[in-house]
Amino acid sequence: MWRRSIGSLMVSISRTYAAKESNMAQLIDGKSISQEIRKQLSQELKELVATGCPVPHLTAVIVGDDEASKKYVANKMVACQEVGISSETKRLPASTTQEELLQLIDDLNKDPLVSGILVQLPVPDHINERTICNAVHVEKDVDGFNEQNVGRLALDMDGIIPATPLGVKRLLEHFNIETFGRNAVVVGRSKNVSLPMAILLSSDGKYATKAMDATVTICHRHTPPKELARYCRNADIIVVAVGKVGLITKDMIKPGACVIDVGINRIKDEKTGTFKLVGDVDFDEVRQVAGHITPVPGGVGPMTVAMLLHNTLKAARKQFSDRKTC
């Protein structure tokens, strides 16, 4: 008797749990999707080299001792190695002058063996970030931060699209998230992430950038919290790139919406005393309402790395073809 009632209780609990689980948003596993992309890129690279082309090469430049920057660049270099892109990191002291950095970029721009250049941001305060981004040759600008690449994206022309927004686009495509005519909100208006994201979401899918035809609202620091919540509640797709823990909460989500969390915040886990990474979205709560959601870590981050590799291969192909190298 007891055994039967405990058994039926267990069944009922597991059913409730399964129902709750099924209401949960589908997890957008950027890690596994990025691994598939990396495999595909590795194959494409092998085929390119087999036709007699040189191995594409990425040079990363770090100025200063920022630990996060060092870690990000090291990850990117490992990823290059994995797919077969040759790579090197040039480490410069924080005291490097803008002129010295510009000289190095000029040398790399002229080096025919270098297919891609990445200057890890942020650079120290005495160096003008925009001047540096514009100094990287447009064809070698694998970050897509040069004003010419930003302009090409804005004008629906073929160019190099910044890795993070391109990675988000690939995630949306992978999960068949409808963007055509849908309402999207981009939270954040940074020039390197949110602006290209908003352009890519709103531009015309008919042209070179194969963009997403959504109706886009951009929210930023001066958007009143009530308005932010109102815009978000009306959105089918929300992309958050701010760097503020818990900015996006459950009450701000339209049921079934797709929530893409670009934010990366390092916080202390009070239970263990160790540090962990979280995004800008209250993941556990929002996941109960959203249709799709990216985790942090393991969502957008790995896609950013994969798209950097994609951009490096694309840049190399164009340079080989323009110079008739192979």
**187 forms part of the interface with ligand NAP (CB under 6 A):** yes
**3 forms part of the interface with ligand NAP (CB under 6 A):** no
- Sign of the torsion formed by the C-alpha atoms of 174, 176, 180 and 183: negative
Which of 141, 143, 261, 280 is catalytic? The answer is 143
Element (H, E) at 267: strand 265-268
Residue among 210, 233, 244, 318 that touches ligand NAP (CB under 6 A): 244
**264 forms part of the interface with ligand NAP (CB under 6 A):** yes
For the CB of residue 6, give the shortest distance to ligand NAP in the complex, in Å: 46
For the CB of residue 195, give the shortest distance to ligand NAP in the complex, in Å: 9
Q: Applying CB under 6 A, what is the total number of residues that bind ligand NAP? A: 24
**219 forms part of the interface with ligand NAP (CB under 6 A):** yes
**190 forms part of the interface with ligand NAP (CB under 6 A):** yes
Residue among 221, 226, 323, 324 that touches ligand NAP (CB under 6 A): 221
What's 94's DSSP letter?
T
Q: Is the backbone peptide bond immediately before 122 cis, with ω within 30 degrees of 0?
A: yes
Number of H helices, E strands in the chain: 11, 11
Residues 6+ apart with CB under 8 A from 19: none
What is the number of residues in the chain?
A: 326
Which of 39, 43, 98, 120 is catalytic? The answer is 120
**262 forms part of the interface with ligand NAP (CB under 6 A):** yes
Residue among 243, 249, 288, 317 that touches ligand NAP (CB under 6 A): 243
Residue among 59, 87, 120, 304 that touches ligand NAP (CB under 6 A): 304
**162 forms part of the interface with ligand NAP (CB under 6 A):** no
- The Cα 121–Cα 143 span in angstroms is 10
Which of 76, 140, 169, 314 is catalytic? The answer is 76
120 in catalytic set: yes
Rounded (5°) CA angle 168-276-142: 35
Amino acid at 141: D
**298 forms part of the interface with ligand NAP (CB under 6 A):** no
Closer to ligand NAP by CB, 104 or 235: give it: 235
What's 281's DSSP letter?
B
* DSSP string over 3-68: HHHHHHHHHHHHHHHHHHHHHSPEE--HHHHHHHHHHHHHHHHHHHHHTTPPPPEEEEEEES--HH
For the CB of residue 143, give the shortest distance to ligand NAP in the complex, in Å: 11
Closer to ligand NAP by CB, 87 or 194: give it: 194
For 325, list phi and psi in degrees, rounded to 5: -70, -40
Hey, is 237 helix, strand or coil?
strand
Contacts (CB under 6 A) with ligand NAP, residues 59-118: none
Contact footprint for ligand NAP (CB under 6 A): 164, 187-190, 192-194, 219-221, 223, 228, 241-244, 247, 262-264, 300-301, 304
Q: Which sequence positions are flagged as catalytic? A: 76, 120, 143
